Structure 1
Amino acid sequence: MLIEADLHQVYGIDVESGILQRRTWRWLQLRIIGLLSTECRLQRHFNPPEEPRTNTRRR
């Protein structure tokens, strides 16, 4: 679901349109790899933002 939403948001690719049946696996693979370097759901899933550190020193 992350990939489908991101393909639509980033590239304008509607998976339900049948476009994937007319494209090669390489075509799709390059776009999915491209999503990993774009600010999107898939990229955040594999590279989540760091949690802010809190000062937890004991006294």
Structure 2
Amino acid sequence: MIEADLHQAYGIDVESGVLRERSWRWLQVRILGLLSTESRIAQHFSPPPETPRTPRR
């Protein structure tokens, strides 16, 4: 999910070797940024939607 999201959100192709040229902090900032966008990883970690409760009789 992260690889696909990095490509979709930032245009980062992890197979290009760019990660060897960047620091762990650089990667961490981008991954954490994915959590605040509409991404697969954000959807995975978001809480499930609340279902409306029906009143008891």
Same fold flag (TM > 0.5):
yes
Return the alpha-carbon distance in structure 2 between the equivalents of residues 35 and 14 of structure 1. Answer: 15
Return the alpha-carbon distance in structure 1 between the equivalents of residues 25 and 14 of structure 2. Answer: 16
Per-residue CA deviations over 1:1-51 (Å, capped at 9, x if unaligned) read x10000000000000000000000000000000000001000000005515
TM-score in terms of structure 2 length = 0.85
Return the alpha-carbon distance in structure 1 between the equivalents of residues 8 and 20 of structure 2. Answer: 20
Structure 1, unmatched stretches of 5+, are none
Percent identical residues: 67
Return the alpha-carbon distance in structure 2 between the equivalents of residues 33 and 53 of structure 1. Answer: 31
Alignment RMSD? 1.6
Structure 2, unmatched stretches of 5+, are none
Return the alpha-carbon distance in structure 1 between the equivalents of residues 32 and 9 of structure 2. Answer: 12
TM-score in terms of structure 1 length = 0.82
Return the alpha-carbon distance in structure 2 between the equivalents of residues 19 and 36 of structure 1. Answer: 21
